[in-house]
A and B are shown apart, each in its own frame.
Chain A
């Protein structure tokens, strides 16, 4: 009960933070897609480079978020921009890895047939490889989005706003209520993103592929 009154009392502020949070997630995941999708496709054509790049990306992923934000703070200062940069970097890996494996796991029979009947390299990519890898790619985007919803709470630390603000305030003042005000919506948000992208994933999977996956 107390929680509900708390939510209603802070409704306006929360809503604004939620908006900022969603914006952070969407922008950084979009940035992740823009970088990871072409890079992933490129790597499937350069398998040797792929091992190196995927290893580096994997290592970056293990750097704690706080450390990354610290670096961003030093290099780019306070505000939304450094947070977006850091979050975008984090969103790259799942999309990159899923794009790469999604395409490399397309059976050679399909690409061989595609080439053999006279598709150009880009036609093989757009008509065969990408459609067949699409479920994997979208699932990578989904993983990224869910990650970023939680990483984005850290962004409050360097003044990017979002639901993290409430959590940090709560932590700084030993106020559990404030922590919950930030934590509960962001947990729900993670679920919502996952569900929405899951639905997109399903819609984008051709009927011919559904039964198998």
Chain B
């Protein structure tokens, strides 16, 4: 358990930490997030006494950390920084066993730790232990950075924007790994980030800071649901419903324009042939004026159809339809609450404008979740 009690830090006239009080429970992964200069890194570095507060006290498991020798304290707390900071003059194995060696572990113990940890991140010992950091990729380097922090099994690990400099794919997999390691080894992790995605993904609890104060400390769920401040709302950005009354999206924005149509007088076999060719299982039936009449499905014709009869006899008029100017939400609601696979989108004159299928809704959902997808 880490407890901050009325911690204040000033640099000259600037207050970096303003009477900060909070508690982090053991075994939790806590993300500290906020705009740059909000004091998140300072908070982190106060925990291992790289920064000494002007006022207030930090307790770890009830003990005032200033009562302990700072060097000793740091050896019992893992530390990962953004620039990775692997020592370039040491091999992977030497880097990982730095802290155990400082703690005077025997050579065999160090070696055992290196073996175990490399296995934990799927980097075979034989291949990697004797490489130098500059022989590894950025992602591998930061994996080793994390392992170095874990080597002496500290109950607490501090991470200062550890994945900020990595590409999105590598970052994803490292986030996954940190989460997995944390669950497995039951560490208390304090994780500083400026990336809301990362915080929402990793954290059990998010501490949102601004100008040296905590604006909100809550679970990701709660923060999404009830952000306590405008700054937080801005930070959450696309994770939330927009405040501004945006114009509702229209059904036409989600439709595919390519629709396979058939005239009502077309014969059954001819229609089946057409469906086969287009690899669809139903067609939209229209009349002489191109107006929508209904749909006809391959099952329907196979079940009841007779050769030579026009498809107009087998039309399903119950198929879902919407107007192209209808709210897209309505169209999606209709589709999702039914067992149908599509909704037909009609123009004002009841001619066919397009079709919204379950596939296009999935795409739309993707857009809403991840924002614009670059082409």
Residues in A lying within 8 Å of B, measured CB to CB = 107, 109-110, 112-120, 123, 127-128, 131-132, 206-209, 211-212
Contacts and interface: CB of A to CB of B under 8 A. Distances in A.
Interface in B89-108: 89-91, 98-99, 102
Contact of B85 (A109, A118, A209): A109
Given A117-B75, A117-B149, A208 B90 contact: yes
Interface stretch (B26-34, B76-84, B304-312): B76-84
B314 interface: no
Contacts, number: 78
A208 B91 contact: yes
Interface of B: 45, 48, 50, 71-76, 78-79, 81, 83-91, 98-99, 102, 132-135, 148-149, 158
Contacts of B99: 117-118
B74 A115 contact: yes
A113 B45 CA distance: 12
A118 B75 contact: yes
8 closest A-B pairs by CB: A113-B85, A208-B132, A118-B75, A109-B83, A118-B74, A116-B79, A206-B89, A109-B85
| Interface secondary structure of B, over-half rule | mixed
Contacts of A209: 88-89, 134
B81 A112 contact: yes
Contacts of A112: 50, 81, 85
A108 to B, nearest CB: 8
Contacts of A109: 81, 83-85
Contacts of B88: 110, 132, 206, 208-209, 212
A132 B132 CA distance: 14
Nearest to B85: A113
Contacts of A208: 88-91, 132-135
Nearest to B102: A118
Contact of A119 (B45, B84, B89, B102): B102
B71 A118 contact: yes
Contacts of A132: 87-89
A116 B71 contact: no
Given A120-B71, A206-B132, A208-B133, 8 more contacts: A116-B79, A117-B98, A117-B102, A119-B71, A128-B89, A131-B89, A132-B87, A207-B132
Contacts of A123: 102
A23 B150 CA distance: 52
Interface centre among B74, B89, B91 (most CB of A within 10 A): B89
A207 B135 CA distance: 10
A120 B149 CA distance: 17
A120 to B, nearest CB: 5
Given A114-B87, A116-B48, A116-B79, A212 B149 contact: no
Nearest to B76: A118
22 contacts: A107-B83, A109-B81, A109-B83, A109-B85, A110-B88, A113-B81, A113-B86, A115-B50, A116-B50, A116-B79, A117-B99, A117-B149, A118-B71, A118-B74, A118-B75, A118-B102, A120-B71, A128-B89, A131-B89, A207-B132, A208-B134, A209-B134
Given A118-B72, A123-B102, A209-B89, A113 B132 contact: no
A209 B86 CA distance: 12
Given A117-B99, A128-B87, A206-B88, A211 B134 contact: yes
Contact of A113 (B73, B75, B79, B134): B79
Contacts of A114: 85, 87
Nearest to A211: B134
Nearest to B81: A113
A109 B79 CA distance: 12
Contacts of B134: 208-209, 211-212
A211 B135 CA distance: 10
Contacts of B91: 208
Most chain A CB neighbours (cut-off 10 Å) among B87, B99, B135:
B87
Contacts of B83: 107, 109
Contacts of B133: 208
A189 B102 CA distance: 44
Contacts of B81: 109, 112-113, 116
Contacts of A119: 71, 98, 102
Contacts of A207: 132
A123 B74 CA distance: 14
B279 to A, nearest CB: 55
Nearest to A123: B102
B342 to A, nearest CB: 56
Contacts of A117: 74-75, 78-79, 98-99, 102, 148-149
A109 B142 CA distance: 13
A134 to B, nearest CB: 8
A211 to B, nearest CB: 6
Contacts of B86: 113
A127 B99 CA distance: 12
A211 B133 CA distance: 11
A207 B148 CA distance: 20
A61 to B, nearest CB: 31
Contacts of A118: 71-76, 99, 102
A111 to B, nearest CB: 9
Contacts of B84: 109, 113
Contacts of B158: 116
